[in-house]
Structure 1
Amino acid sequence: MKVGIVFEGTYPYVTGGVSSWGNTLIKSMKDVEFCIIHIGDVPKIRKPKYNFPDNVIDYFEYFLFAKYDFSSKSIITKQFGNKLREILKYPFDEKVMSENLYKLFQQYSNYDFTSLLKSETYWEVMLDFYKTYIPYENFTNYFWTLQSMLLPFLNSMTVDFPKCDIYHTITTGYAGISAIMNGIKNNTPVILTEHGIYHRERQLEVLKAGWIKDEYRLAWIKLFNTISSLVYKGSKKITTLFSKNQLFEKELCEDESKMYVIPNGIDFDKFSKLEYRKEKDPYIVGLVGRVVEIKDIKTAIKAAKMVKEKIKNFKLLIIGPTDEEPEYYKECLDMIKIFRLEDTIKFTGKVNVLDYYPKINVLLLSSVSEGQPLVILEAFAAGIPVVTTDVGACSEMIYGSDEDIIGEAGIVVKPKDFVGLAKGLIELYQNDEFRISASKLARIRVKKRYRLEQMIKNYKDLYLSVVK
Structure 2
Amino acid sequence: PDATGAAAPVQSAPPVHGKPSAPAESIPQEPDRPEPQQPLHPARPPAPTAIAWESVASAASHAAAIPLSQQVAEEETDDEEAPAGAAELLQLSEEPEPEAGARALPDGVPEDGVYADVDVAIVMESTYPYLKGGVSAVVHDIITGNPDLTFGIIHITWDSHSPLKDLYGMPDNVAWVRVLYLSMEEHQEDFLRARPRDLRMNRRQRRELSRRILGAMLSLAQDGQTEPLWDIISEGLSASRRYPVWAILGTREFMEAYHDMMPDLGMSMTDVFWCLRDFFSLAYAVLAEPVPRAQVYHAHTTGYAMLLGVNAAREHGTKVLLTEHNLYVRDTVNTLLERRLDLNIRLTDYRTFDVTGRERMWMAWWLEMGRLCYPYAYASTYLYPRAITEANELGGDAGRAIVIPNGIVTSEFDASYVARLAAIEEIKKEGADKHLWKLVYIARVVPIKGLLDMIDSVRLMVDRGLNIHLDVCGPTEHMPSYFEQCLTRIVEQGLESVITIRGTVKVRELLPEFDLFVLPSYNEGLPVVSLETMGAGIPTVSTDVGAVRSVVEDMIVTDDGQTWDPCGIIIEPGDPTVMADKVQEVISDVDLYERLSLNARGRVEAAYDLVKVNASYNKIYRQGGAGEQAGARADRGGA
Q: Distance in 1 between matches of 2:235 and 2:145?
A: 38
Structure (1 or 2) with the larger CA radius of gyration: 2
> What is the aligned counterpart of 1:408 among 543, 563, 566?
566
Q: What is aligned with 2:527?
A: 373
Q: What is aligned with 1:245?
A: 387
Instruction: Quote how far apart the aligned CAs of 1:331 are.
Output: 1.9
Q: Distance in 1 between matches of 2:474 and 2:231?
A: 46
> What is the aligned counterpart of 1:447 among 605, 616, 620?
605
Instruction: Quote how far apart the aligned CAs of 1:240 are.
Output: 0.9
Q: What is aligned with 2:138?
A: 21
Does 1:352 pair with 2:502? no
Q: Distance in 2 between matches of 1:129 and 1:315?
A: 62
Q: Deviations over 1:357-396 (max 9, x none)?
A: 1111110111111011111111111111101111101111
3-state SS, counterpart of residue 143 of structure 1:
helix
Does 1:118 pair with 2:250? yes
Q: Distance in 1 between matches of 2:227 and 2:541?
A: 43
TM-score (norm 2): 0.67
Q: Deviations over 1:206-228 (max 9, x none)?
A: 3327xx96223333222212111
TM-score (norm 1): 0.91
Q: What is aligned with 1:271?
A: 413
**Mapped contact 1:198–1:228 kept (Cα < 8 A):** no
3-state SS, counterpart of residue 300 of structure 1:
helix
> What is the aligned counterpart of 1:89 among 218, 224, 227?
218
3-state SS, counterpart of residue 202 of structure 1:
helix
Q: Distance in 2 between matches of 1:228 and 1:76?
A: 32
Q: What is aligned with 1:417?
A: 575
Q: What is aligned with 1:208?
A: 338
**Mapped contact 1:113–1:157 kept (Cα < 8 A):** no
Q: What is aligned with 2:312?
A: 182
The 5-angstrom pairing of residues 12-411 of structure 1 reads 12-46=129-163, 47-66=165-184, 67-68=186-187, 69-70=189-190, 78=206, 80-89=209-218, 92-93=221-222, 96-98=224-226, 100-102=228-230, 104-105=232-233, 109=238, 110-111=240-241, 112-119=244-251, 121-128=253-260, 131-134=263-266, 137-208=267-338, 214-253=356-395, 255-274=397-416, 275-276=419-420, 277-278=423-424, 279=427, 281-401=435-555, 403-404=557-558, 405=563, 407-411=565-569
**Mapped contact 2:440–2:471 kept (Cα < 8 A):** yes
> Which stretch shows the higher mean deviation, 30-39 or 251-260?
251-260
Q: Please, which runs of 5 or more residues in structure 2 have no aligned partner?
A: 1-117, 340-353, 629-639
Instruction: Quote how far apart the aligned CAs of 1:119 are.
Output: 4.9
**Mapped contact 1:75–1:115 kept (Cα < 8 A):** yes
Instruction: Quote how far apart the aligned CAs of 1:301 are.
Output: 1.5
**Mapped contact 1:97–1:226 kept (Cα < 8 A):** no
Q: Distance in 2 between matches of 1:227 and 1:54?
A: 34
Q: Distance in 1 between matches of 2:167 and 2:485?
A: 24
Seen in structure 2, the aligned counterparts of structure 1 residues 341 and 118 have a Cα distance that, compared at 3 Å, is: same
**Mapped contact 1:33–1:56 kept (Cα < 8 A):** yes
**Mapped contact 1:159–1:178 kept (Cα < 8 A):** no
Seen in structure 2, the aligned counterparts of structure 1 residues 122 and 54 have a Cα distance that, compared at 3 Å, is: farther
Amino acid at match of 1:140: T
Seen in structure 2, the aligned counterparts of structure 1 residues 337 and 86 have a Cα distance that, compared at 3 Å, is: same
3-state SS, counterpart of residue 92 of structure 1:
helix
Seen in structure 2, the aligned counterparts of structure 1 residues 14 and 138 have a Cα distance that, compared at 3 Å, is: same
Amino acid at match of 2:284: L
**Mapped contact 1:76–1:113 kept (Cα < 8 A):** no
Seen in structure 2, the aligned counterparts of structure 1 residues 131 and 411 have a Cα distance that, compared at 3 Å, is: same
3-state SS, counterpart of residue 133 of structure 1:
coil
> Which stretch shows the higher mean deviation, 108-117 or 159-168?
108-117
**Mapped contact 1:2–1:165 kept (Cα < 8 A):** yes
**Mapped contact 1:285–1:363 kept (Cα < 8 A):** yes
Q: Deviations over 1:331-353 (max 9, x none)?
A: 21122121121111112222222
Q: What is aligned with 1:459?
A: 617
Amino acid at match of 2:491: K
Instruction: Quote how far apart the aligned CAs of 1:148 are.
Output: 2.8
3-state SS, counterpart of residue 15 of structure 1:
coil
Aligned residues: CA RMSD = 2.8
Q: Distance in 2 between matches of 1:21 and 1:218?
A: 34
Q: Distance in 1 between matches of 2:401 and 2:484?
A: 42
Q: Distance in 1 between matches of 2:262 and 2:529?
A: 48
Q: Please, which runs of 5 or more residues in structure 1 have no aligned partner?
A: none
Seen in structure 2, the aligned counterparts of structure 1 residues 229 and 130 have a Cα distance that, compared at 3 Å, is: closer
Seen in structure 2, the aligned counterparts of structure 1 residues 348 and 102 have a Cα distance that, compared at 3 Å, is: same
Amino acid at match of 2:172: D
Q: More helix by proportion, 1 or 2?
A: 1
Q: Distance in 1 between matches of 2:407 and 2:245?
A: 39
> Which stretch shows the higher mean deviation, 29-38 or 77-86?
77-86
> Which stretch shows the higher mean deviation, 194-203 or 357-366?
194-203
Seen in structure 2, the aligned counterparts of structure 1 residues 121 and 419 have a Cα distance that, compared at 3 Å, is: farther
Q: Deviations over 1:158-178 (max 9, x none)?
A: 232222222100011111101
Aligned residue pairs total 464
Instruction: Quote how far apart the aligned CAs of 1:265 are.
Output: 0.8
3-state SS, counterpart of residue 89 of structure 1:
helix
**Mapped contact 2:537–2:601 kept (Cα < 8 A):** yes
